[in-house]
C-alpha cells in the first residue's frame, strides 16, 4: 500500500471536514438565535439597550426548514406566538444586541433586524409594539417568538402560546435606549396609524421619562355584542368631541372614510369606537333620529387609498360585514 497516497487522501478528507465546519460556523454566526450557542453578556447589571447592526441576512436552514430573510413592508400575518425567557436571558441576539426577557422584544424568522411590529392577541384583544431583534421561532408553524415581558403584556404567559396578528411597522433605530420603544407604545395608545408611528415617536422620545418602564400596559379591546340601528337620513349633529369633522374640514383634508354602522345605543357605539381607536382614527357622530339620537361610527379621515382598503378589511374581519368605503366626495354630498 502506498502510505504517501493514503496520507494525502486522509489530509484531503480532513481539509474537507474543516471547510464544512467553517461554513457551518459562518452560517450559524450569520443568523444565530439567542440560544445555548450564543455568548452571554459578560458584565453585571442590566444589559445595554440597542446597539447591534441592521441585518437582513441570507437564506438559512434550521431543522430541515429553509428561511429567507427579506424586506417585507406589507407583512401582516396571523398565527401562533410563543415566548422565551430565562433560558435565553442576557444572550446575544441575531443582530448583535443583548436579549433581556423583561423588555418588549421578539424573534422573527425573516423580518429585518431590528424592526418594529405590532402584535395583537386575537384571543383577548390586547396589543403592544415590540422590537424584533432576533431570529426564530423554529417550531412548527409559529409566526413569532415573544419575550417574557411581551407575553405578560398580552396576557398569555401562563398558556404558553396564543393566536396573534403580527403587523410590520418599519425599521427600529439602532441607538434606542428604550425611549423610542416607549414612545411607539404611547403612539399606539393614542391610536396613531401604523404608517405614522415611527415619525411621531421620533419627535416624542425626547419627552419619554429616563426610567421609562418598557412593560407597557397593553389596552384590551372591548368586544361585546352591538345592536345596529336602522339607517337614518336625518340632519347630522356633530358632537363637541369631534369638532374636526365639520364638512369644510372634511373637504379640505381627507380622502376616505370607512362607514362601520349606526347604533341606537350610545354605549354600544362607544365600544365599537374604542375597538378600532388603537389602529385607525375614528369619528363618533351623533345623528338626530325620529325615535331619538342615533350614533354613527366611521374610520377616518384616511388619506391613502391602500390604507383605506386595509381599514375596510379590518372592519369586515371584526364582524362588520356591511362596512363600506366612502370617498370624500360622497361623504361631502351625504353631509349636505
192-227 pLDDT, tens digit each: 889 889 998 888 776 666 555 444 444 444 333 334
Rounded to 5°, the CA angle 323-195-49 comes to 135
For position 284, what pLDDT does the model report?
84
Mean predicted confidence (pLDDT) in 43-52: 91
Contacts 24+ apart (CB under 8 A), 63-69: 63/138, 65/138, 67/31, 67/109, 67/110, 67/135, 68/110, 69/31, 69/109, 69/110, 69/111, 69/112
Q: Which of 17-26, 94-103, 182-191 has the highest mean pLDDT?
A: 94-103
Peptide bond into 114 cis (omega under 30): yes
Q: Mind listing the pLDDT tens digit for each residue in 278-321?
A: 678 888 888 877 777 888 899 888 877 777 888 888 888 888 88
CA distances from 16 to 22, 26, 27 (A): 10, 15, 16
Closest CA to 198 of 224, 223, 226, 169: 169
327 pLDDT tier (thresholds 50, 70, 90) = confident
Q: Name the CA dihedral angle for 104, 108, 114, 119, rounded to a multiple of 10 degrees.
A: -40
Residue 334: pLDDT over 50:
no
Q: How far is CA 48 from CA 19, 99, 174, 177, 193, in A?
A: 35, 9, 12, 8, 30
Place of cell 418594529: 116
DSSP notation for 233-263: -PPEE--TT-GGGSHHHHHHH--EEEEEEEE
Task: Please give the model's pTM, rounded to 2 decimal places.
Answer: 0.59
Nearest to 169 by CA among 187, 149, 148: 187
Give the integer Cα–Cα distance in Å for 298 and 99.
41
Amino acid at each position: 500500500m502506498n502510505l504517501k497516497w493514503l496520507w494525502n487522501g486522509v489530509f484531503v478528507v480532513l481539509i474537507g471536514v474543516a471547510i464544512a465546519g467553517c461554513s457551518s460556523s459562518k452560517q450559524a454566526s450569520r443568523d444565530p438565535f439567542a440560544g445555548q450557542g450564543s455568548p452571554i453578556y459578560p458584565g453585571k447589571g442590566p444589559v445595554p439597550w440597542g446597539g447591534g447592526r441592521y441585518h437582513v441576512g441570507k437564506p438559512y436552514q434550521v431543522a430541515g426548514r429553509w428561511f429567507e430573510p427579506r424586506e417585507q413592508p406589507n407583512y401582516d400575518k396571523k398565527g401562533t406566538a410563543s415566548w422565551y425567557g430565562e433560558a435565553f436571558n442576557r444572550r446575544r441576539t441575531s443582530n448583535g444586541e443583548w436579549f433581556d426577557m423583561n423588555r418588549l422584544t421578539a424573534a422573527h424568522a425573516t423580518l429585518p433586524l431590528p424592526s418594529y411590529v405590532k402584535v395583537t392577541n386575537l384571543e383577548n384583544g390586547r396589543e403592544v409594539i415590540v422590537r424584533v431583534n432576533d431570529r426564530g421561532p423554529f417550531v412548527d408553524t409559529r409566526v413569532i417568538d415573544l419575550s417574557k415581558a411581551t407575553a405578560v403584556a398580552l396576557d398569555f404567559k401562563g398558556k404558553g402560546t396564543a393566536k396573534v396578528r403580527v403587523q410590520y411597522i418599519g425599521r427600529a433605530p439602532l441607538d434606542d435606549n428604550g425611549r423610542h420603544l416607549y414612545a411607539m407604545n404611547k403612539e399606539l395608545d393614542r391610536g396613531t396609524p401604523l404608517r405614522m408611528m415611527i415619525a411621531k415617536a421620533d419627535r416624542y422620545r425626547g419627552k419619554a421619562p429616563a426610567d421609562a418602564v418598557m412593560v407597557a400596559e397593553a389596552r384590551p379591546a372591548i368586544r361585546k355584542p352591538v345592536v345596529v340601528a336602522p339607517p337614518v337620513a336625518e340632519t347630522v349633529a356633530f358632537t363637541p368631541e369631534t369638532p374636526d369633522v365639520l364638512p369644510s374640514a372634511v373637504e379640505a383634508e381627507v380622502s376616505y372614510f370607512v362607514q362601520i354602522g349606526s347604533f341606537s345605543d350610545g354605549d354600544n357605539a362607544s365600544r365599537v369606537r374604542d375597538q378600532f381607536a388603537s389602529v385607525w382614527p375614528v369619528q363618533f357622530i351623533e345623528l338626530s333620529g325620529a325615535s331619538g339620537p342615533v350614533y354613527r361610527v366611521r374610520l377616518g379621515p384616511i388619506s391613502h387609498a391602500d390604507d383605506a382598503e386595509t381599514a375596510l378589511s379590518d372592519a369586515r374581519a371584526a364582524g362588520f360585514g356591511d362596512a363600506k368605503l366612502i370617498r370624500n366626495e360622497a361623504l361631502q354630498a351625504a353631509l349636505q
